[in-house]
Structure 1
Amino acid sequence: MRVIIVGAGEVGFNVARRLSGENKDVVVIDMNPKALSKVSDSLDVQTIQGSGSSPEILEEAGVREADIFLAVTDKDEINLIATFLANKLKPGIIKLARIRNEDYTKYSDMFSEGDLRIDTIINPDEEVVESILRVMSVPGSVEINDFVGGKVRLIGVKLPDDSPLEGVQLMKVREQLGEDIDVVIAALVRDDELIIPGGLDTIEKGDIVYFTCMRDQQDELLQRAGILSDPIRKVLIVGGGNVGSLLARALDNKKYHTRLIDNNADRCADLSEALDRVIVLNGDGTDQDLLNEENVGELDMVISVTGDEEMNILSCLLAKNLGARKTITRINKFAYIPLIQPIGIDHLVCPRLSAINSILHFVRQGKVISAVSIKGEEAEALEAIAQEQSDIVGKPIMELNLPKGTLILCFQRGDDVIIPTGLTVIEPNDRLLIISTHKNIPKIEKALTTKLELY
């Protein structure tokens, strides 16, 4: 597979890193020589200095022989022109473009056909808001992802000290929780190490447990596991930019009592006019006097989503110190991600990681519907259609010789979602949810597409 990436920023670099590590043929284009130098020094990929909006540069990159074209610069106009030219030079190529400006996204129908066709418009801000809303729906969670059209959830939750699951073998989890609950333990995080477990593994005190469950059984499952916490009602948003305003609109209803702080008076005036129930305040999210005036210690959640990640971190730490129950911070630099929870912030959202997740399933071989990174990039959850020629079709799961660190969590057959056993046989067109460590992804891709052995 040949992939051309326009843009060598955080998104372009990290997509290139993921794909080059899987032995895919990657070309990265960027105007900035320093950004390209970082790519070429770190990765086994081809780099070309120049504009992705130049037909000559795209020809030099081999666009006519490429399978996928990714335009992920920080400039929407460059991404749009680059995908337009790629479509002219190779009409059948799969194209993804990172577009954030609402002036373009609200006319997304224009990009569905003809010379302007873009297979997927990636809007990281919208993805981040969806991620925040999912976390708010399960306040005790570390990470939540939806699959099978929203019917199945993968929920990562830190096990409380009094949970009845402590010390329970995984093969006995359903016995402990009740046979009427369909659940699979997809992964454990113990001492910051991710484990794809087997049936003989035991849940231990302090583990982060990733449950795979039916969406409509989520609350009952968490309650029986001793995890369900009080719902989120009182919310403070710090930052009224793209993410903050989108989130405020999503929370502008009777269910939430929402306040928003921003230090730009003109932006506050615009937001105040556009929102009905959200209280908009002009001020600094790191102003302790202001936070005290707004009784931040009584809030269920403080969500800091300004464009300044240092301010986001400080405002969350300050709010937590003043008594806020939960905090979410927006992070752009990947290097900061491992630091967030150890310093006391409950959750993080990363627009660039959201963009990478949106891209991944397009570059996965086989009929992959979605792909999501778990615990940063240590594992990946793939949702894919089982094809007739696939190596995983026609025999019991226990005979598939799946690589260590790989589990089939569930699958959809027709309208039914099934939690499999070792005796379950995968049939063509089953919609599978698979979790695997990152190093096994190339083997899983082969298994989804061919009759090649996994070992």
Structure 2
Amino acid sequence: MKIVIIGAGGVGYNIASRLALESKNVVVVDVDAHATRKIAEDLDVKVVTGSGSNPGTLQEAGILGADILLAVTDSDEINIVSCLITNQISPMTRKLVRLRNEGFIPFHTSLKNEAPHIDNIINPEAEVVKTIRKLMTIPGAVDKGDFVNGRVKYVGMRLSKTSPIAGMELSDFHNVFGQERPLIAAIIRNNKVIVPRGKNKTMAGDLIYFVCDTQKLKETLGLLGVTVRPVKRVLIVGGGRIGFKLSQSLEQDNIQVKIVEANMDRCNDLSMQMGKTVVLHGDGGDQKLFMEENISQMDAVVSVTNDDETNILVSLLAKNMGVDNTITRISKASYYPLLSTIGIEKVVSPRVSAVSSILQDIRQGNVISDISIFGEQGEFIEAVALASSPITKGPIKEISFPKGTLLVCIIRQEEIIIPMGDNQVQAGDRIILFAIQAAVKKLEKMLTVKLGFF
């Protein structure tokens, strides 16, 4: 598979990095020679220095016959023109475009349906709002996502000292919980991802990732000692594009919203555009303002300013004032390893959300989705099992999976199976697997050869 990426910024770099690990034929195009040089030094990909909107540059990148074009520069106009020219040179190439300008939002559907040069549109701010909404619903959840069109959920959450499963061996889960047991796909302890086996114990302070039937999520959370509370009141710090989109989304669900914004002109704009949302002019780090607005009564506080340090401060203040459910926008990847040590667990990033959405969109064939967790130290992979695969040739306990991988769910027509060793995968089943980063390439090679990865 050949993929041409226009834009060597944060999104382009991260997509190229992921695809290079899968041994894809990747070409990265950027007008900035320093950016292309860095990618060439860091990654096993080809680079072309030049504008992605230039036909000659696209031809040099080998766009003719390429399977996919990803136009992800910071310029919406360059991204659109890149897709337009690609359609003229290589009509069969699938074209995905990143669009950030809010003015394009009303035209997303018509662009995808009527413009032959655009196959799909990714809006980073819209993607991060989806992520925030998912995280907001479960207290203590630091990550949450879907498989099989929403039929299966994965949730990442920190185990408290009072959790019923803290200190329990995984092999005891079936005896204690029966068929309703949660399947622990991964344990993060001391910043290390562990793929658990039966003799592993969960411990207070662990960050665990479990998988369950969506219809049984509330029941599963109850087994873990978590009570789901409805979110009725939300304070948003930062009235930029993300804050605005989030408040609109929350308003539609009749959730009471307050936005704190430091720029007075932006406050006036928001006041004119919003419906029931209360817009407050102030500094997000102002403890007095938080006290005046009864922040302790909020069900969630979301800090999405353009400044990481401000967002961290807001979340720490909110937690100190009694808010358990805080969500923090972070742009600098170097901050991620430090955040959990200071009590910040729920973190979102437009770049990460956009990369995840793009990677899921370009999956074809029998691998349907691929979701990274914990700073890309581990991955969930959703695939379809073929009759030719060795995965269907016997009970799970007899299948030789790469070390550091785990089969976590089988979906057979309407049945969702949390597997045990005696279960057997059948041809046509959807399967969800988890792998640590070091094992991903081996697992994907196995899937490539046996399941037809692309």
Same structural fold, with TM-score higher than 0.5 when normalized by the shorter chain = yes
Aligned to 2:296: 297
Whole-Å separation in 2 of the counterparts to 1:402 and 1:261: 50
Aligned to 2:214: 215
For the residue of structure 2 that corresponds to 1:186, the secondary structure is: strand
State whether structure 2 residue 280 is matched by structure 1 residue 270. Answer: no
Stretch moving more, 254-263 or 157-166: 254-263
TM score, norm. by length of structure 1: 0.92
For the residue of structure 1 that corresponds to 2:356, the secondary structure is: helix
Could you list the per-position Cα deviations for residues 275-312 of structure 1 after superposition, in whole angstroms to 9, with x for gaps in the alignment?
Answer: 33321112221223322221223333211112222222
Whole-Å separation in 2 of the counterparts to 1:118 and 1:429: 31
State whether structure 2 residue 359 is matched by structure 1 residue 383. Answer: no
For the residue of structure 2 that corresponds to 1:402, the secondary structure is: coil
Q: Aligned ranges for residues 66-215 of structure 1 at < 5 Å? A: 66-112=66-112, 116-176=116-176, 178-215=177-214
Whole-Å separation in 2 of the counterparts to 1:242 and 1:198: 44
Letter in 2 for 1:204: M
CA contact (8 A) 1:268 1:281 kept: yes
For the residue of structure 1 that corresponds to 2:178, the secondary structure is: coil
Could you list the per-position Cα deviations for residues 36-91 of structure 1 after superposition, in whole angstroms to 9, with x for gaps in the alignment?
Answer: 22212222222211111111001001112422221111111111111222222222
CA contact (8 A) 1:391 1:449 kept: no
C-alpha deviation, 1:194, in angstroms: 0.8
Whole-Å separation in 2 of the counterparts to 1:340 and 1:451: 40
Aligned to 1:436: 435
Whole-Å separation in 1 of the counterparts to 2:255 and 2:162: 30
Could you list the per-position Cα deviations for residues 394-439 of structure 1 after superposition, in whole angstroms to 9, with x for gaps in the alignment?
Answer: 4332232111111121122222222222233322322221111223
For the residue of structure 2 that corresponds to 1:143, the secondary structure is: strand
Structure 2 CA distance for partners of 1:277 and 1:365, relative to 1, 3 Å: closer
CA contact (8 A) 1:160 1:226 kept: no
C-alpha deviation, 1:452, in angstroms: 8.7
Aligned to 1:4: 4
Whole-Å separation in 2 of the counterparts to 1:112 and 1:247: 23
C-alpha deviation, 1:159, in angstroms: 0.9
Whole-Å separation in 2 of the counterparts to 1:109 and 1:386: 33
Could you list the per-position Cα deviations for residues 364-386 of structure 1 after superposition, in whole angstroms to 9, with x for gaps in the alignment?
Answer: 56422222111110111112222
Structure 2 CA distance for partners of 1:362 and 1:258, relative to 1, 3 Å: closer
C-alpha deviation, 1:354, in angstroms: 0.8
Could you list the per-position Cα deviations for residues 327-376 of structure 1 after superposition, in whole angstroms to 9, with x for gaps in the alignment?
Answer: 21111222222222222323110111111111223555642222211111
C-alpha deviation, 1:449, in angstroms: 4.0
For the residue of structure 2 that corresponds to 1:164, the secondary structure is: coil
Letter in 2 for 1:340: L
CA contact (8 A) 2:380 2:432 kept: yes
Letter in 1 for 2:183: V
Stretch moving more, 245-254 or 140-149: 245-254
Whole-Å separation in 1 of the counterparts to 2:392 and 2:449: 10
Aligned to 1:402: 401
Aligned to 1:252: 251
Whole-Å separation in 1 of the counterparts to 2:437 and 2:85: 33
Letter in 1 for 2:302: I
Aligned to 1:239: 238
CA contact (8 A) 1:5 1:72 kept: yes
The share of aligned pairs that are identical, in percent, is: 43
For the residue of structure 2 that corresponds to 1:106, the secondary structure is: helix
CA contact (8 A) 1:390 1:447 kept: no
Aligned to 1:28: 28
C-alpha deviation, 1:247, in angstroms: 0.9
For the residue of structure 2 that corresponds to 1:423, the secondary structure is: coil
For the residue of structure 2 that corresponds to 1:129, the secondary structure is: helix
Could you list the per-position Cα deviations for residues 175-226 of structure 1 after superposition, in whole angstroms to 9, with x for gaps in the alignment?
Answer: 22x2251521111011111111112212122211111111222222222222
For the residue of structure 2 that corresponds to 1:64, the secondary structure is: coil
Whole-Å separation in 1 of the counterparts to 2:267 and 2:24: 46
C-alpha deviation, 1:115, in angstroms: 5.7
Structure 2 CA distance for partners of 1:395 and 1:114, relative to 1, 3 Å: farther
Whole-Å separation in 1 of the counterparts to 2:334 and 2:48: 26
CA contact (8 A) 2:236 2:243 kept: yes
For the residue of structure 1 that corresponds to 2:29, the secondary structure is: strand
Aligned to 1:18: 18
Whole-Å separation in 2 of the counterparts to 1:50 and 1:453: 35
CA contact (8 A) 1:379 1:435 kept: yes
CA contact (8 A) 2:388 2:451 kept: no
C-alpha deviation, 1:140, in angstroms: 1.2
CA contact (8 A) 2:407 2:434 kept: yes
Stretch moving more, 5-14 or 437-446: 437-446
Letter in 2 for 1:310: E
5+ residue gaps in structure 1? none
Could you list the per-position Cα deviations for residues 66-119 of structure 1 after superposition, in whole angstroms to 9, with x for gaps in the alignment?
Answer: 222211111111111112222222222222221122322322233335763433
Whole-Å separation in 2 of the counterparts to 1:449 and 1:96: 24
Letter in 2 for 1:119: D
Letter in 2 for 1:264: N
Whole-Å separation in 2 of the counterparts to 1:114 and 1:220: 44
Q: Aligned ranges for residues 301-320 of structure 1 at < 5 Å? A: 301-320=300-319
Aligned to 1:372: 371
Structure 2 CA distance for partners of 1:351 and 1:367, relative to 1, 3 Å: same
For the residue of structure 2 that corresponds to 1:145, the secondary structure is: strand
Letter in 1 for 2:174: R
State whether structure 2 residue 394 is matched by structure 1 residue 416. Answer: no
Letter in 2 for 1:334: A
